[in-house]
Amino acid sequence: MEQIKAYFEKNKENSFQRLDDNTCFDLNIDNLFTTIDYTCTPIGQQYLYNLLRNIPHKSSLEKYESWHSHLENKDTEEFIEKTLLKLEDSDAYRICPLFQEEQPTIDNRTTTLYNILQFLPFTSLLLCILLGSKIFLFLTIVFFITNMAIHYRNKNKSFLYVRSLPILLKMIKTADKLSQNKEIRELNTDISYDINELSEIKKRLSFFNLEPKLEGDAAIILWVICEIIKTFFLIEPVSFNRLLIIMQAKRDSVKRIFEFIGLIDTLQSVHKLRKEYKCCIPVYSDSDSKLDGENVYHPIVENCIENSFSMNNRSFIVMGSNMSGKTTFTRTIAINVLVAQSLNTCFADKFTLSKFKLWSSMSINDSLSEGKSYYLAEVLRIKSIISETKNGANLILLDELFKGTNTVERIAAAKAVLTYLASNHKNRVIAATHDIELHDLLSKSRFESMHFSDNIENNKLSFPYLLKHGSPDKRNAIKILELYNFPQEIVSDAFNTVNIQVS
């Protein structure tokens, strides 16, 4: 995953939202990516992951929706897959640093020195032969040793590119082959210009052998002869430096070809995804904060129960016992909002939404190294969410808000925070909680109470995982203690305490 994330980590292009690490962890984005990834190449994986984390101002794939019709053609689909598989090599993960990072080229003065040293050994040797002077023989040896030192120092530098440059050549050739197809060329009509821009790089890479593969004595002898010639004329350092200079100047073209390959691979991946899962194309609303779905499900949850919802006017307080489905439902809505805005695809029969930024506080950890308690870590996270969601439309996911503190203050603080977040009428909040008291405290605000129930029948606990309106009409937490054979004294004491508090 670290290699897959590499392109995203250094891609600082402007986007609607760069999904933060906390929200990604809460939504299990890495697992989501693994589930929906049908790409053929590492480049496609990096491009797809970046789409999930860098939410575009408008779905990057929405404008290519009609292009999916080309993938219905079996020949086109097979051509794309067969061509892309040439870049299946894991070395393709190493291409993005070639355009995202500065390349270590040498300065002009050193370049001039290398150009002179290229010819000095040969000139000295020629003068030695013509004049028969031992001085020129001595100079030839000195110049050759100097060139040898430069040659092998350059080897250490070029070794860093042993795996990335050959696969870069493959990428250029792959893009060239794909662009010959008229339907594929529709995705980027200027791609031929970028391929032509890299023609010199392509030529240099074709003969610049970074990692010779030797087989047999004859090949070793040939390699030794080639090394002597390359050292004598300082061919590798000069050619390699020139190559890096060209790459530095043409990095934008390298990037666009990388993105061209990534887009094609991602489109065919989404096409396969829609065949494997029940999906729909989202409908975008002109209203500020519309959000509803029919038969929505979570793609990672096996045999996930589908639920429908509508959040057009109010936010949700979602109640229920542990394992009843409230947290999964919260994640399900967020995941669908994310893939709608990134991949123009939803896991539902119908999904309608406005443009939302995503924020969450669901899986907070304390930090002993930083001296932060669980409660303080959560406080700081909620504070950052409050700061980020004052303007615009935001979907905010909260799970058991302030559970790191006492009941009275937890409920009071949760009520205050939820009311404040919902005061921006464009925000939609989904707060999963055990605290039924929040139902009464927020009933007159912008919140609607929903719940998931659990059933105890024939001494068996079951969960229907169906979303219901209103607050839970029964409490089974103590009944579950009895179900799992807690001492009767404990069960009776608990029931008595509840009855006293209720009365």
SS3 content of the chain, % helix, strand, coil (to 5): 55, 10, 30
Half-sphere exposure of 198 (CA within 13 A, CB side): 30
The vertex-473 CA angle with 315 and 336, nearest 5°, equals: 35
Report d(CA 37, CA 31) in Å as an integer. 10
- Residue 361's H or E segment, with its range, is strand 357-361
Query: Of 87, 252, 85, 251, which Cα lies nearest the Cα of 169?
Result: 87
pLDDT value of residue 17: 92
The number of beta carbons lying within 10 Å of the beta carbon of residue 282 is: 23
pTM of the model: 0.86
DSSP 251-314: HHHHHHHHHHHHHHHHHHHHHHHHHHS--B--EE-SSSS-EEEEEE--SSSTTPPPEEEE-SS-
The number of beta carbons lying within 10 Å of the beta carbon of residue 411 is: 18
- Tell me how far apart the 2 most distant CA atoms of the chain are, in Å: 117
Report d(CA 73, CA 312) in Å as an integer. 39
Report d(CA 350, CA 280) in Å as an integer. 6
Question: What pairs with residue 293 in β-bridges?
Answer: 309, 351
Based on C-alpha coordinates, what's the Rg of the chain? 31
For each of the chain's 503 residues, which pLDDT tens digit applies? 899 999 999 998 888 999 999 999 999 999 999 999 999 999 999 999 999 999 888 766 788 888 888 888 898 899 999 999 999 989 999 999 989 988 777 777 888 888 888 888 888 888 888 888 888 888 888 888 888 888 877 777 777 777 888 899 999 999 999 999 888 888 888 899 999 988 888 887 765 554 445 556 676 787 778 778 878 888 878 888 888 888 888 889 999 999 999 999 999 999 999 999 999 999 988 877 889 999 999 999 988 999 999 987 789 999 887 778 889 999 999 999 999 999 999 999 999 999 999 999 987 665 444 546 778 888 999 999 999 998 889 999 999 888 878 888 889 999 999 999 988 889 999 999 888 888 888 877 788 888 888 777 777 777 888 888 888 776 677 778 878 788 888 888 888 887 755 44
Q: Which residues of 18-31 are buried (b: 16+ CB within 10 A; e: fewer)?
A: ebbebbbebbbbee
- 313 touches 428 (CB < 8 A): no
Question: To which residue do tokens 């001296």 refer?
Answer: 371
Report d(CA 144, CA 231) in Å as an integer. 7
- 87 touches 261 (CB < 8 A): yes
The architecture (CATH level 2) of 283-472 comes to 3-Layer(aba) Sandwich (3.40)
DSSP 143-180: HHHHHHHHHHHHHHHHGGGTTHHHHHHHHHHHHHHHHT
Query: Of 327, 360, 334, 333, which Cα lies nearest the Cα of 432?
Result: 327
